[in-house]
Amino acid sequence: SQELEQSPQSLIVQEGKNLTINCTSSKTLYGLYWYKQKYGEGLIFLMMLQKGGEEKSHEKITAKLDEKKQQSSLHITASQPSHAGIYLCGAVLMDSNYQLIWGAGTKLIIKP
């Protein structure tokens, strides 16, 4: 959806390096979700952010919500092959009738 833009579309990172994925909304955000998808599998819930300034971590993955910028960033520290996959952000936006609007995804490849 153009209402929720993810960047970059794809990313190739050397194992051990840090990386950041962004998710930017064109409308007011009421909650933002990060999911990971491995090819051929379902979506695995990573984190949900609801308040401006909120920051959550799960193992080596940290996500922040910047309410002013209507943006969330997902940061992976010391990337590992297990981090490879597609990262999707979904958000409840103003006028979305409480339903999630999704970004197109960021494909992450980890080079050994």
Partner 1 sequence: NAGVTQTPKFQVLKTGQSMTLQCAQDMNHNSMYWYRQDPGMGLRLIYYSASEGTTDKGEVPNGYNVSRLNKREFSLRLESAAPSQTSVYFCASSPRQVSGNTIYFGEGSWLTVV
Which of 51, 68, 99, 112 is close enough to bind partner 1 by CB under 8 A? 99
> Closest CB to partner 1 among 26 and 50?
50
Q: Which is nearer to partner 1, 19 or 93 (CB)?
A: 93
Nearest to 39, CA basis, from 76, 88, 101: 88
Q: Are strands 19-25 and 55-58 parallel, antiparallel or unpaired?
A: unpaired
Site for partner 1 in 27-56 (CB under 8 A): 30-31, 33, 35, 40-43, 45, 48, 50
Q: Would you count residue 85 as binding partner 1 (CB under 8 A)?
A: no
Structure tokens that stand for 112 in this block: 């050994």
CB half-sphere exposure, 21, CA atoms < 13 A:
32
The footprint of partner 1 on this chain (CB under 8 A) covers a number of residues equal to 23
Query: Which of 36, 85, 103, 110 is in the footprint of partner 1 by CB under 8 A?
Result: 103
Q: Are 35 and 90 in contact (CB under 8 A)?
A: yes
Among 51, 68, 95, 98, contact with partner 1 (rule: CB under 8 A): 98
For tokens 């929720």, what's the residue?
Answer: 4
User: What angle (nearest 5°) sits at the alpha carbon of residue 98, between those of residues 36 and 20?
Assistant: 30
Residues near partner 1 (CB under 8 A): 1, 4, 30-31, 33, 35, 40-43, 45, 48, 50, 88, 90, 92, 98-100, 102-105
